[in-house]
């Protein structure tokens, strides 16, 4: 291995853990990745993605010059263009001028509601802040969202309503201080591997007791004192039954309830029906396990709850999260080190993108768009006339897709997202994408969504730009440029500013917000003037281990855990609950429950890992099927099957395993040739507007090997 000319310290671009990376560079090429043992986040440990998954930067599929469609696209006839022969190279000037011209024309003709933008949880805080600012300040629309709507929106909504803050309340490493902790809806060893190492250490070295509540026998079950294998969609029943036991056996923290909560009586009355017997009947979890779990959690000195997408990705995802919050409030296991509520964030900067305002209902810092004082504050900073900003809540990601029609959304600007992989019911999404009038994609690769675009803008990777990510611990960390940009690629924040200057001229908004930033640190400083929690977050203070927000001023040290002494909303509020099953349950025609998720080697829609050698480690989608179900179907391991829901069909191979439970099948969602979201249900949680990814009814039949789609068959390829 060559000796590095330089080693650049930066932050991992994958999951929300935010591991510190050392990029070893020779001749402007990254050839190795290590991590310092002194890193407070990951202590030198890295997962397979962090250590080896950087080579997507050098993929021959990457596009590094601006591209325009060769043939004009019209609503209703728009098709996907993967092959580079369907595109032509353009200068940055031509591409940006065309975008400015088309967006301005649509805005003048149809108004604010005709334009929408997808921000990106893979992009920096500064990138996301600027894109939402552009669409709000120049086009006066709040149709701005990103993938948090498709992952933790239910958690965000419940936490905001219950305690007034939607972030993870503790630092992940505090799990070492737990004597009991509960994991639910999180395959932690595959989705957040470094946090899982800390959890294992808490059990093996410190004697902590683990409760796992999950329909699959994930690896953490091997370390658990209790495993509650619930059926998908029955979270409220199980966790409310635990609350029922805590109430009936008087295991509550009475002082905490009296001093720091409200609406307890109404909540307690709603728990009467959630007996362990009722929960067993609907969830298949044995009542004795529910009782044991309740006693173990309530009796702990330090207890915490960790969850991921298995909780919020539901038509009642907000209620699922409420049911977890209630356990912490009942027992007082919140507001202290080693006690709290911890939604583990899936993408590297999904917390930061939300903080930065990449949401349809909130400005940066979760300040409501329909609140007059908040709107006036942003108008003043952005030099907008009083009353100029839109006071109406915008559409969410799934609602934006649904609103594509004449008289509705006509244009979509996509920065780094991939709705053609991430949205539910992808056949419906495809039809809607075809009806758009103008599409811009800003990314590294022409992915399934970018293939619908009229203009493709080549962005830099995380290793080619400066900025900040905010991890799942609320830790803001630096992203440092290690290598030059490939080809003509530009940093997202630079692209946005260049476009904004052209739009200002066309829209006659010469007195609008500043767009001539010299460095992303100036963008973060502007955000800090508007978001009190970021007021003290400055680049100079982030050089070592970053800072955990809230950071209230330039002297504030950051906040490792939240809610000591008080909650942002004052008293935490209990919410009465009822049980509602999944929107779609098994029946004679569709007898299985499908749930979806990730695998260790891949990440989200595969836009990075499937352009990496990591794809060699897990090259195709496999559906997990329980052995007894396989016997009943007459299916053998690695046999090809057809899986159908009421929305679509896909063909893939089977992995027969006891990792899943009877009647439940699992499909990872990383693979475009077997896209799980062709099957999933687009019914929404009424509060959070998050789709139901984790439970839908499917049927399974044998298929022919020839029906399998070829991996990466239509991805853009070439010298770019």
Interval 362-405: pLDDT, tens? 999 999 999 999 999 999 999 999 999 999 999 999 999 999 99
Q: Say if CB 566 and CB 572 are below 8 A apart.
A: no
- What's the CA gap between 178 and 17, in Å, rounded? 19
pLDDT band of residue 508 (cuts 50, 70, 90) is confident
Residue recorded with tokens 């334009």 = 115
If you average pLDDT over residues 419-433, what whole number do you get?
A: 94
- What's the CA gap between 40 and 336, in Å, rounded? 20
Residue 715 has pLDDT above 80, yes or no: no
- What's the CA gap between 539 and 673, in Å, rounded? 42
In CATH, which superfamily holds the domain spanning 6-58?
ADC-like domains (2.20.25.90)
Tens of pLDDT, residues 154-199: 999 999 999 999 999 999 999 999 999 999 999 999 999 999 999 9
- What's the CA gap between 558 and 549, in Å, rounded? 6
- What's the CA gap between 274 and 267, in Å, rounded? 12
Q: Which residue has the higher pLDDT, 26 or 150?
A: 26
Tens of pLDDT, residues 278-334: 999 999 999 999 999 999 999 999 999 999 999 999 999 999 999 999 999 999 999
- The pTM of the full predicted model, rounded to 2 decimals, is 0.96
If you average pLDDT over residues 245-270, what whole number do you get?
A: 98
Q: What share of the chain is helix, strand, coil (3-state, %, to 5)?
A: 35, 20, 45
Residue 511 has pLDDT above 50, yes or no: yes
The pLDDT of residue 223: 98
- What's the CA gap between 40 and 14, in Å, rounded? 18
Helices 276-283, 235-248: inter-axial angle, 10-degree rounding: 170
Domains 6-58 and 153-344 fall in the same CATH topology: no
Query: What percent of the chain has pLDDT above 90?
Result: 93
If you average pLDDT over residues 700-710, what whole number do you get?
A: 90
Fold of 67-145+349-370+393-473+484-519: Rossmann fold (3.40.50)
The pLDDT of residue 171: 95
Residue recorded with tokens 């809230």 = 550
**DSSP label at residue 451:** G
Residue 711 has pLDDT above 80, yes or no: no
The two structure tokens encoding residue 447: 């992915």
The pLDDT of residue 85: 93
Residue 32 has pLDDT above 90, yes or no: yes
Beta strands in 28-135 (DSSP E): 29-34, 67-69, 87-89, 115-118
The pLDDT of residue 716: 37
Beta strands in 459-613 (DSSP E): 467-470, 475-479, 547-548, 572-573, 592-597
If you average pLDDT over residues 656-685, what whole number do you get?
A: 95
Classified as helix, coil or strand, 235 is: helix
If you average pLDDT over residues 118-137, what whole number do you get?
A: 97
pLDDT band of residue 605 (cuts 50, 70, 90) is confident
Report the half-sphere exposure of 577 (CA within 13 A, side-chain side).
29
**Selection from 9, 13, 32 nearest residue 22 by Cα:** 9
The pLDDT of residue 714: 36
Is domain 153-344 in CATH 3.40.228.10, yes or no? yes
**Selection from 500, 493, 439 nearest residue 466 by Cα:** 493
- What's the CA gap between 236 and 690, in Å, rounded? 17
The two structure tokens encoding residue 380: 């003043």
> How does DSSP assign 327-386, residue by residue?
HHHHHT-SSBTTBEEEE--SSTTHHHHHHTT-SSSEETTTEETT-HHHHHHHHHHTT--T
The pLDDT of residue 717: 34
592-707 CATH, one of 3.30.200.20, 3.90.1570.10, 1.10.10.10, 2.40.40.20: 2.40.40.20
The pLDDT of residue 149: 86
The pLDDT of residue 710: 66
If you average pLDDT over residues 427-445, what whole number do you get?
A: 97
- Domain boundaries defined on the chain: 6-58, 67-145+349-370+393-473+484-519, 153-344, 592-707
Sign of CA dihedral 613, 693, 462, 710: positive
Burial class (CB in 10 A: 0-12, 13-18, 19+), 381: middle
Residue recorded with tokens 């159908």 = 644
Tens of pLDDT, residues 38-65: 999 999 999 999 999 999 999 999 999 9
The pLDDT of residue 686: 94
The pLDDT of residue 79: 93
**Selection from 410, 376, 429, 368 nearest residue 393 by Cα:** 368
């Amino acid at each position: 291995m060559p000796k590095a000319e330089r080693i650049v310290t930066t932050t991992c671009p994958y999951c929300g853990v935010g591991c510190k990376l050392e990029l070893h560079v020779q001749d402007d090429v990254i050839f190795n990745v290590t991590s310092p043992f002194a890193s407070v986040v990951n202590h030198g440990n890295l997962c397979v993605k962090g250590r080896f998954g950087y080579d997507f930067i050098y993929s021959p599929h990457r596009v590094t010059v601006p591209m325009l469609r060769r043939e004009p696209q019209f609503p209703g006839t728009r098709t996907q263009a993967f092959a580079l022969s369907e595109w032509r190279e353009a200068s940055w000037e031509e591409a940006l001028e065309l975008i400015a011209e088309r967006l301005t024309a649509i805005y003048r003709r149809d108004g604010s509601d005709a334009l929408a933008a997808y921000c990106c949880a893979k992009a920096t805080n500064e990138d996301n802040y600027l894109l939402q600012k552009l669409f709000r300040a120049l086009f006066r629309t709040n149709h701005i969202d990103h993938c948090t709507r498709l992952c933790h929106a239910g958690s965000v909504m419940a936490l905001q309503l219950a305690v007034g803050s939607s972030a993870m309340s503790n630092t992940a490493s505090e799990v070492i201080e737990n004597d009991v902790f509960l994991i639910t809806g999180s395959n932690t060893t595959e989705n957040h591997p470094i946090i899982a190492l800390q959890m294992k250490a808490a059990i093996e070295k410190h004697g902590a007791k683990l409760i796992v509540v999950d329909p699959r026998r994930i690896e953490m079950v091997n370390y658990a004192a209790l495993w509650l294998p619930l059926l998908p969609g029955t979270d409220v029943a199980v966790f409310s039954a635990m609350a029922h036991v805590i109430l009936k056996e008087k295991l509550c923290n009475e002082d905490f309830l009296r001093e720091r909560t409200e609406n307890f009586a109404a909540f307690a009355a709603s728990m009467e029906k959630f007996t362990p017997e009722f929960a067993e009947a609907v969830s298949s979890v044995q009542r004795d396990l529910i009782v044991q779990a309740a006693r173990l959690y309530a009796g702990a000195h330090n207890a915490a709850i960790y969850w991921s997408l298995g909780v919020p990705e539901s038509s009642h995802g907000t209620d699922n999260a409420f049911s977890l919050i209630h356990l912490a409030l009942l027992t007082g296991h919140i507001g202290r080190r080693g006690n709290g509520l911890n939604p583990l964030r899936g993408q590297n900067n999904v917390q930061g993108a939300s903080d930065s305002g990449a949401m349809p209902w909130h400005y940066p810092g979760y300040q409501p768009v329909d609140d007059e004082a908040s709107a006036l504050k942003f108008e003043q900073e952005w030099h907008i006339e009083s009353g100029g900003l839109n006071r109406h809540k915008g559409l969410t990601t799934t609602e934006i897709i649904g609103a594509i029609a004449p008289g509705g959304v006509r244009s979509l600007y996509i920065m780094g997202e991939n709705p053609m992989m991430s949205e539910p019911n992808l056949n419906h999404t495809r039809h809607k994408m075809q009806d758009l009038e103008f599409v811009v994609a800003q990314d590294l690769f022409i992915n399934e969504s970018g293939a619908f675009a009229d203009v493709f803008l080549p962005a830099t990777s995380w290793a080619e730009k400066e900025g900040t990510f905010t991890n799942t611990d609320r830790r803001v960390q630096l992203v440092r440029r290690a290598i030059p940009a490939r080809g003509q690629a530009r940093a997202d924040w630079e692209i946005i500013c260049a476009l904004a200057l052209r739009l200002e001229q066309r829209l006659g908004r010469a007195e609008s917000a500043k767009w001539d930033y010299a460095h992303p640190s100036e963008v973060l400083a502007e955000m800090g003037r508007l978001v009190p929690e970021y007021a003290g977050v400055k680049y100079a203070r982030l050089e070592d281990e970053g800072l955990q927000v809230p950071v209230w001023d330039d002297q504030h040290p950051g906040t490792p855990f939240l809610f000591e002494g008080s909650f942002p909303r004052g008293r935490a509020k209990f919410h009465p609950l009822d049980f509602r099953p999944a929107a779609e349950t098994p029946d004679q025609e569709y007898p299985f429950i499908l749930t979806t998720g990730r695998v260790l080697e891949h990440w989200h829609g595969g836009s990075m890992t499937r352009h990496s050698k990591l794809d060699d480690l897990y090259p195709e989608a496999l559906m997990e099927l329980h052995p007894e179900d396989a016997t009943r179907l007459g299916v053998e391991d690695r046999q090809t099957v057809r899986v159908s829901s009421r929305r679509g069909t896909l063909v893939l191979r089977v992995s027969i395993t006891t990792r899943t439970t009877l009647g439940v099948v699992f499909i990872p969602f990383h693979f475009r040739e077997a896209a799980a979201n062709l099957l999933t249900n687009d019914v929404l949680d009424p509060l959070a507007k998050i789709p139901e990814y984790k439970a839908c009814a499917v049927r399974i039949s044998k298929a022919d090997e020839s029906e399998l789609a070829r991996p990466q068959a239509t991805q853009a390829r070439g010298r770019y």
